[in-house]
Amino acid sequence: MGAVARHGRSPVGAEVAPELLERARALLAAHPVVDGHNDLAWELRVRAGYDLDRVDVARPQPQLHTDIPRLRAGGVGAQFWSVYVPARLQGDHAVSATLEQVDFVHRLVARYPDALALATTAGEVERAVDAGRIACLLGAEGGHCIDGSLGTLRMLYALGVRYLTLTHNHNVPWADSATDQPRAGGLTTFGEAVVAEMNRLGMLVDLSHVAAATMRAALRASQAPVIFSHSSARALCDVPRNVPDDVLEALAGNGGVCMVTFVPMFVSPRCAAWWGEARQRLAGSGVELDDQVASQPLLADYEREHPRPVATVADVADHVEHVREVAGPDHVGLGGDYDGVDVQPVGLEDVSGYPRLLAELLGRGWSDREVAKLTWGNALRVLREAAAAARDLAAQGHHPPPSAPGRLGGSGRPG
């Protein structure tokens, strides 16, 4: 059985040293993973119309990356469930679909009360874990889901949503996406107002998916720590979705956390190149490649002629270590993006894989304390500090501003 190399990358395909895996599992028992992003809610909308009789996640579901037994096996103590809606849904349609996503997560928790518990604060996360349950937090992905309405933003917070990813793959009228043509130059005045209102509420500003200019503008504007719920390091894999080093350095001053994602095209340059070539070849197909269901047959055909390269646990660990080195050990976390992509790295194929990643890091010389911050401590600290910033703003007399869709950056429809 191959041993994991000390203070270095494990060889590709190497098996995990049993003593490191045992140590990783012991650490997870005391400091479970708070994962920043999982797309199970949208996946179950597509696959089963949210029908948990058709897909019972209390039982193994091999067609998915996520089910309760594998969350347990992976040492996941708290999961931010993404209440994502695609950018093709706009205006009222985006808002209603987001509410349906929120409703599903509430129903998911109600369906499995012995295993899951809704959480909106760091204290509620801790109490859920102490009771033997997986804490369920909500994060809204894509600012189009508020339709330019601060009132809608406030109501999402009231329903338990604790972060908003400012954009998804396309711009919103008030913020630029990493994968669209820049229009706002980062954040507009209304975009800054969204950040300010999130600070006032205690909602985390999530900068995954946004353009580097938007990252920098939000870091300047925010009075509370921000997060990247599922992003990796651009210095290691030069794709727009990843975080540049100057932003990671600024993140340390802000107190935020970059939750490293596992997505192969964001952690492996070879995988990124393959995906870029596939996009070029299939661009004229009329199929949206970000739509996993619609694009799967086309990608399968392409893959038969052009085998897909694989990412590994070591690739992900490289990004975790880079974020630690640039931003510091207090500013790194994990955001797997399970059920948001079709393929994950070898060794991290589903949510049971976290112990293997931790074993890799332990084999590189990480201390127990550093691992505990990575999995648990940093995410809970950010939740607490965002709540504390909201209390400070309330004490300073900050009040909710009015919201009028169309007037403050919304769809332009009559109010």
Annotated active-site residue 337? The verdict is yes
Which residue of the set 31, 35, 37, 192 is catalytic?
37
Beta bridge partners of 136: 79, 118
Annotated active-site residue 306? The verdict is no
CB-CB contact of 96 with 104 (8 Å): no
Which residue of the set 31, 209, 319, 331 is catalytic?
209
Q: Which amino acid is it at 174?
A: W
Which residue of the set 337, 339, 360, 385 is catalytic?
337
User: Measuring CA to CA, which residue among 147, 62, 160 is closest to residue 108?
Assistant: 160
| DSSP conformational letter for 374 | I
Annotated active-site residue 93? The verdict is no
**Could you give the residue ranges of the DSSP H alpha helices within 202-345?**
212-221, 245-254, 264-267, 269-282, 292-305, 313-327
| DSSP conformational letter for 375 | I
Which residue of the set 39, 147, 176, 192 is catalytic?
39
**Could you give the residue ranges of the DSSP H alpha helices within 268-332?**
269-282, 292-305, 313-327
CB-CB contact of 228 with 191 (8 Å): no
Rounded to an integer, what distance in angstroms lies between the CA atom of residue 366 and that of residue 211?
31
Q: How many Cα atoms occupy the beta-carbon half-sphere of 341 within 13 Å?
A: 21
Which residue of the set 35, 43, 67, 141 is catalytic?
141
Q: Give, in order, the Cα–Cα distances in Å from 252 to each of 208, 320, 321.
A: 16, 15, 15
Rounded to an integer, what distance in angstroms lies between the CA atom of residue 266 and that of residue 274?
12
Rounded to an integer, what distance in angstroms lies between the CA atom of residue 387 and that of residue 162?
10
Beta bridge partners of 117: 135
Annotated active-site residue 7? The verdict is no
Rounded to an integer, what distance in angstroms lies between the CA atom of residue 278 and that of residue 271?
11
Annotated active-site residue 37? The verdict is yes
Annotated active-site residue 399? The verdict is no
Which residue of the set 31, 230, 322, 331 is catalytic?
230
Rounded to an integer, what distance in angstroms lies between the CA atom of residue 97 and that of residue 89?
8
Rounded to an integer, what distance in angstroms lies between the CA atom of residue 139 and that of residue 83?
6
Q: Would strands 227-228 and 257-260 be described as parallel, antiparallel, or unpaired?
A: parallel
Rounded to an integer, what distance in angstroms lies between the CA atom of residue 170 and that of residue 166?
10
Enzyme catalytic residues: 37, 39, 141, 168, 209, 230, 337
